[in-house]
Amino acid sequence: MGILDKLEEVAGAVVAVEGLKKVDPNASMLSEAAAAVAGYKGTELLKEKLESKDQPDAPEQPAA
């Protein structure tokens, strides 16, 4: 896990908080924290999904 991975996740958190501020300018600190966590974890999950689609599936072994 390199510095670029962490930067991607932090960028996801920042984008989520900024999106929340656009929707609700008077959002509470708790709402902003929840958006940051969701953006951080969401970026991580999205990256895992994309990486798993890039890898071809192993051929299945027939049951003996």
Contacts of 37 (CB under 8 A, 6+ apart): 13
Ranges in the chain, pLDDT < 70: 1, 57-64
pLDDT, residue 10, reads 92
pLDDT, residue 63, reads 66
pLDDT, residue 5, reads 85
